Structure 1
């Protein structure tokens, strides 16, 4: 299982939200590139980046910073937040981003996802952010009646290879992740499933790995010191041997 440390960007700073609430925000650094370099030095090979400003605005606000992260590290960088046009996908991929995550655009115009997957293959992922079992969009600020699990199955049937699934109610609370939903999601064999939201204990990561989860995003727990990134990476590598 791949560990993805997370960098959420707002106004050029590294922040963490609680349950996607922009009013419950903690700033951890004003130097995102330095944070990415620190993650790499601790053994990370992959990085999950979210442009929170972009998610609300509908376009890539923090693209220059993300490009700098790619230039200054060898990390496999996946990016989400405000990506709703092919032009932006092309810019990110040309800059060296390895995977682009479609969120709101995937829900509001699924034909766009199908077209982009056909064109860019595995470089396109879908972010499914769930609240009360349904998908939320526009930076988690707007709910829908789209069932989150069914939407994941639709993604798989349409050729999407990777889904990042976030339980909003767990995110940023350091109270544990929703293992039950990931046990269910693992049954969608066609998908590489990345778990996100509330992961705060080593035993949760062990459980996710045993399920066959492809990747796990860890955010607030490593910023607060609840989990040690270096130890997590070593632990998952050892388990794979």
Structure 2
């Protein structure tokens, strides 16, 4: 499945390079036209990142999120600074189908394990954003990618599998927003080790060949952000290459 993505700051669609707020490009003043275009193209899911909420949960763009969910029949998953049960309740009440959980899963794993059991495997996506060292070991980053933990990608997955983990969104930080090609080896490793998981690949998709490569290793989904916004290909072209199941 292909999932178009919109990153939101102050109601606008933006992209950051490798999570750096100092390297921000604004692509649209209002996301609703893009939401409508993605729906018309045939997308079934939309991925939102509330970057205001990521920096300060008190500034979460709930009004905008409600506008988007009300304006589309696409299912919506959203991440960005989700830290409490109240955050989840508000987002689900705003019409979101899945919450994308990142840093809090490293800091308070027991809390997220509880959410998995309470809300169900399909309501929670574990966002594991990784820095890969020279030896090829992937370490999970936190705090908007500004810090790297001492937990490996595999350790994190193993910690949550017993609690019903099903959806994992994995980003190779070095490739995010760079249009440098996706890290196929990373996702091949994940699918071989954890065939029961639904893996969403994120970061680096630059052309249709990247999607073909991800399909070939049986990756379940790909997040499409900058490639769509910069016109590397259209969502219609991508879906012709990788039709939604």
Q: TM-score range by the shorter chain?
A: over 0.9
Asked if the contact 2:227–2:233 (Cα under 8 Å) also holds between the matched residues in 1, the reply is yes
**Structure 1 stretches lacking a partner, 5+ long:** none
Match of 2:86 in 1: 87
CA distance in 2, matches of 1:201, 1:218: 10
State the SS of the aligned residue for 1:160.
coil
Match of 1:114 in 2: 113
Task: Report matched runs for 1:1-241 at 5 Å.
Answer: 2-59=1-58, 61-121=60-120, 122-132=122-132, 133-187=138-192, 188-237=194-243
Shift of 1:151: 1.4
CA distance in 2, matches of 1:94, 1:61: 14
TM-score, normalization: structure 2? 0.93
Shift of 1:58: 4.1
Aligned residues, how many?
A: 238
Asked if the contact 2:117–2:163 (Cα under 8 Å) also holds between the matched residues in 1, the reply is no
4+ residue stretches of structure 1 with deviation over 2 A? 152-158
Q: Deviations over 1:155-199 (max 9, x none)?
A: 333311101001110000011011111110112122110000011
**Structure 2 stretches lacking a partner, 5+ long:** 133-137
**CA RMSD, 1 decimal:** 1.5
CA distance in 2, matches of 1:46, 1:57: 26
Shift of 1:149: 2.9
Deviates more, 1:204-213 or 1:162-171: 204-213
Q: Deviations over 1:2-58 (max 9, x none)?
A: 101100011211001111111111000110122111111222111110011211224
